[in-house]
Amino acid sequence: MPRRFALALALALAGAALATSLAADDTSPLNASWSAIERQARGQTVYWSAWGGDPAINRYIGWVAGRMDERHDLEVVHVKVDDIATTISRIVAEQAAGNDAAGAVDLMWINGENFAAMKERDLLFGPFARRLPNFALTSPDDNPEMLTDFTLPTEGYESPWGKAQLTFYHDTERVAEPPRSLSALLSWVREHPGRFTYPLVPNFLGSTFLKQVLLSQVEDPSVLAEPASRHDVEAVTAPLWDYLDALHPHLWRQGRHFPSGGPELKRLMGDGELSLAFTFNPAEPAAAVTAHQLPPSTRSYVLQGGTLGNVHFVAIPFNARHKAGAMLLANFLLSPEAQARKQDIDVWGDPSVLDMRRLDADERQAFEGERHPASPPPEALQRTLPEPHPSWVEALEAQWQARYGNG
């Protein structure tokens, strides 16, 4: 046997043996049984990077941490971040430094352009989603939104956590009949100067408003499902800037200053400075009324023709130190118990990703209850528009900063 062939054969056999060994390795979370994953997770500490800008969300994550400690001896540390992009930069630095197994982040709240950036750089662990027992409760094969993030297939590298849809709200004592389209909004703002605004870009809610306007103004919305690099970005987005140029002089503070994000926008509504606002959580107005942050006369609605909506996810970095614990936590977030509590407007009000048909009667009952007057009608939330390709977000934010970023 020629030496080169013998060496190649030996390497092939060694590789096959290694692959067989890895496939049978019970210590790998992707290959282990669920009971083995639970055993691995016991005693671990999961560092969960998630937005920390809302006290209600922070309290919910604290409740989750308590449940995981009680049931699985798993410590969950909420690492509060203002922008998950900061966390991604840290993971990129760890990758560059050769840190492949002892990363500082175990789980991330993520979607959209941030998921796209991590996927492109091979910064994600997986595929793990279908390994989670509770993932089946989302009926993913019947609900493509559980498998797609801003047009990109998740391929099991994200696990769904909650839903969101752009929802407008107003105080009926100030606005009897709110504008139901973006063209009507422009007319309304001209008649009621200073009573509406949107958050500072690149805050995600501000960027979402840009996308919603672009969808309503662009000649062919289908181009937004494709990468921006395939199109003349300036030509496609020109109607958006024309709209904003007309809108800005009539905004709160004449469009020279913008709220930092959704919480400040809600506070301005509660203080009476604004008469019309919007959120990306359809239940937030009702939850805010219950918490006495907005007046009882608050009502919410969706624009005619629909509004942007998406699913938000959790993901595990490629170099997470505690992957088993992260998988156990992601699975609990999909449990009927955790999803029902999250949807409760007295807790958070974030819509569930579960398919109610997959739950038993007792589990479904936890999700049922009378609709709060400040919540949009359920049928309104069926008018959901798909998110553009993530590359459009970067293009819009850059152009907005160039046009309006200096006040």
On whether residue 182 sits in a domain, the answer given is yes
Say whether 63 sits in a helix, a strand or coil.
Answer: helix
pLDDT digits (tens, 9 = 90+) for 330-355: 999 999 999 999 999 889 989 999 99
Burial 359-374 (b: 16+ CB within 10 A, else e): beeebeeebeeeebeb
Contact between 207 and 399 under an 8 Å Cβ cutoff? The reply is no
273 with 354, same domain: the answer is no
Burial (CB < 10 A; 0-12, 13-18, 19+), residue 15, is exposed
182 with 291, same domain: the answer is yes
On whether residue 15 sits in a domain, the answer given is no
172 with 284, same domain: the answer is yes
Task: Label residue 226 by pLDDT band (50, 70, 90).
Answer: very high
- Measured over all CA atoms, what is the biggest interatomic distance in the chain, rounded to whole angstroms? 91
Task: Label residue 27 by pLDDT band (50, 70, 90).
Answer: low
pLDDT (0 to 100) of residue 2:
35
We report the CATH number of the domain holding residue 319 as 3.40.190.10
Tokens of 108: 């991330």
Say whether 395 sits in a helix, a strand or coil.
Answer: helix
240 with 262, same domain: the answer is yes
For residue 246, pLDDT beyond 60: yes
238 with 153, same domain: the answer is no
pLDDT digits (tens, 9 = 90+) for 289-335: 998 999 999 999 999 989 999 999 999 999 999 999 999 999 999 99
On whether residue 13 sits in a domain, the answer given is no
87 with 203, same domain: the answer is no
Report the chain's mean pLDDT, rounded to a whole number. 90
- Average pLDDT of span 225-253: 96
Question: If you compute the radius of gyration of the chain from its CA atoms, what whole number of angstroms results?
Answer: 23
Write the DSSP assignment of 228-255 as a string of letters: GGGS-HHHHHHHHHHHHHHHGGGSGGGG
263 with 397, same domain: the answer is yes
247 with 389, same domain: the answer is yes
Pick from 144-158, 286-300, 374-388: least confident: 374-388
334 with 397, same domain: the answer is no
243 with 342, same domain: the answer is no
Task: Label residue 378 by pLDDT band (50, 70, 90).
Answer: confident
Residue 249 preceded by cis peptide, ω within 30: no
**Residue 155 domain boundaries:** 32-162+312-370
Listed in sequence order, the DSSP H helices in 295-378 are: 323-333, 336-343, 361-365
131 with 189, same domain: the answer is no
Tokens of 56: 């209600």
Q: Structurally, how many domains does the chain consist of?
A: 2
